[in-house]
Amino acid sequence: MKRSCDAFKCDTAVQPGRFLCLAHWRMVPLPTQRTINARYRACRTNFGFLSDLVYLQACVDAIDGIARSEYGAGHQAGQGSYHRLLRGAKKKGQS
């Protein structure tokens, strides 16, 4: 399955299991990279990372940080798949 980098407006192909292309991954602060890697590894056996609030929040923070860096301080990527997954996981957590 081919997929693209999850950074805002990036169409670079990435390998399965990768979140961002290398250029965008290098823009993510190291603590956020560590969180994403650790939570992905801890939850990947049953795709639990897709509902893990810590993992999803770190992904959204990374995507939005890249968007602000590339498109200006007020910019957020906003409506990508990780944003939707995070909103859904938060709703489930409130139920």
pLDDT digits (tens, 9 = 90+) for 42-77: 988 888 888 899 999 999 999 999 999 988 876 666
**15 and 4 Cβ atoms separated by less than 8 Å:** no
The reported pLDDT for the residue numbered 23 is: 97
In the prediction, which pLDDT does 83 show?
Answer: 87
Cα separation values, 55 from 15, 36, 70, 73, 92, Å? 19, 6, 23, 23, 15
What is the percent of the chain where pLDDT is above 70?
92
* pTM of this prediction exceeds 0.85: yes
